[in-house]
């Protein structure tokens, strides 16, 4: 059995994305609901494992539908084309991808390729006049994020980042509890995500820094950084960090196997996290002045379970990909700007923190964050 990041979570939690309920996305304030009969036509750029989960989400989305495919593997492109009945004129290789500019049947390109390729394909899609959704992490550096944002702005298209948890009801409740100080000021957050990456081949792109940008911090730690930031509603002002010992030296020659970090926030709150490829952990805990709230599982694909000092948390298990696509789709169909928490600026903020974590772990120094 393959044991890769996203598939591992689904196997470990015993649930597939398609088995969960479709979310009912709330209408955004001031937004005129688009007609459901009109859907955004989405082209998936990259046909790996996660693209399969997105295809399932697109199949049940109210505002988006799968209409195009982009892949560097002809056999895979043919297989997907037949499975999802995609018109041949809407299928592209990476070589002829720029021709998508003349295709009026494609509204959005969803970039689902290794992290190191996000920037190039996002900029090409923007220049082709297509809105872009890019998977997290947005890119492998702050500079790349800035270039992607600038390219989309210059082309007059919108750029979203695939932050599915912003549309997930348990995490919407975490944000409410933290930002509205339901239990007073949050003083401590502990959030970690890790799994045993058993049997991964040395050639896997997650182990190659040029393609991944780093190890589990890039792939998993971004969820921990995200939840710490949005539960507090603050930006960290400083970070300390430590790389963990390398247990599999034959694999982890270019990227870290595990890393632990501590974020300091203006309110005085501390967030401590670990992301790792050599342990199973999926937990969020927040201690506030008069109570606590927690999830476990917490930041994977669920099904999530949680409680607070006042009782259990109970929300429906949803199709997270469909919820995210509907949340983005209704904004684009209404021709309104994307909210900052899902736009490219949010991905840029995460990369600033991630770069600081790597710097702190390398140097052993406390790194201050600005901007």
Which residues are annotated as catalytic? 136, 223
Q: Using the structure block, give the residue that is written with the tokens 């006042």.
A: 310
Across-strand partners of 239?
A: 263, 367
How many other CB atoms sit within 10 Å of the CB of residue 208? 16
Helix (H) or strand (E) holding 189: strand 186-196
Handedness of CA 110, 323, 352, 284 (dihedral sign): negative
Query: Do 313 and 172 contact (CB within 8 A), yes or no?
Result: no
Six-digit token pair at 353? 């923190």
State how far the Cα of 316 lies from the Cα of 326, in Å rounded to an integer.
Answer: 17
State how far the Cα of 323 lies from the Cα of 326, in Å rounded to an integer.
Answer: 5
State how far the Cα of 88 lies from the Cα of 98, in Å rounded to an integer.
Answer: 16
By DSSP bridging, strand 258-264 and strand 270-276 are antiparallel
Give, to the nearest 10 degrees, the angle between helix 320-333 and helix 49-60: 60
């Amino acid at each position: 059995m393959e044991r890769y990041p996203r598939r591992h979570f689904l196997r470990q939690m015993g649930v597939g994305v398609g088995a969960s309920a479709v979310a009912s996305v709330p209408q955004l304030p001031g937004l005129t609901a688009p007609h459901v009969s009109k859907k955004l036509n989405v082209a998936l750029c990259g046909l790996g494992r996660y693209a399969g989960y997105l295809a399932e989400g697109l199949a049940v989305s109210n505002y988006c539908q799968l209409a195009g495919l982009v892949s560097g593997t002809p056999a895979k492109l043919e297989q997907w084309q037949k499975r999802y009945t995609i018109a041949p004129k809407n299928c592209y290789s990476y070589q002829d991808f720029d021709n998508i500019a003349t295709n009026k049947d494609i509204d959005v390109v969803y970039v689902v390729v290794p992290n190191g390729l996000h920037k190039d394909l996002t900029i090409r899609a923007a220049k082709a006049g297509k809105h872009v959704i890019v998977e997290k992490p947005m890119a492998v550096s702050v500079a790349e994020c800035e270039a992607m944002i600038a390219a989309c702005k210059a082309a007059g298209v919108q750029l979203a980042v695939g932050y599915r948890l912003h549309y997930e009801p348990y995490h919407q409740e975490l944000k409410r509890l933290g930002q509205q100080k339901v239990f007073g000021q949050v003083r401590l957050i502990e959030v970690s995500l890790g799994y045993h990456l058993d049997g991964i081949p040395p050639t896997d792109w997650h182990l190659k820094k040029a393609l991944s940008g780093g190890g589990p911090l890039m792939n998993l730690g971004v969820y921990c950084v995200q939840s710490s930031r949005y539960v507090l509603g603050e930006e960290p002002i400083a970070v300390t960090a430590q790389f963990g010992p390398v247990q599999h030296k034959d694999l982890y020659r270019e990227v870290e196997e595990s890393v632990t970090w501590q974020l300091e926030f203006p309110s005085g709150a501390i967030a401590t996290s670990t992301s790792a490829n050599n342990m199973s952990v999926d937990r969020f805990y927040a201690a506030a002045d008069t109570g606590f709230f927690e999830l476990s599982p917490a930041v994977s694909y669920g099904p999530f379970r949680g409680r607070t000092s006042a009782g259990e948390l109970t929300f429906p298990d949803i199709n997270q990909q469909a919820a995210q696509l509907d949340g983005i789709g209704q904004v684009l169909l209404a021709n309104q700007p994307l909210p900052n928490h899902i736009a490219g600026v949010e991905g840029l903020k995460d990369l600033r923190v991630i770069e600081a974590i790597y710097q702190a772990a390398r140097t052993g120094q406390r790194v201050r964050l600005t901007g």
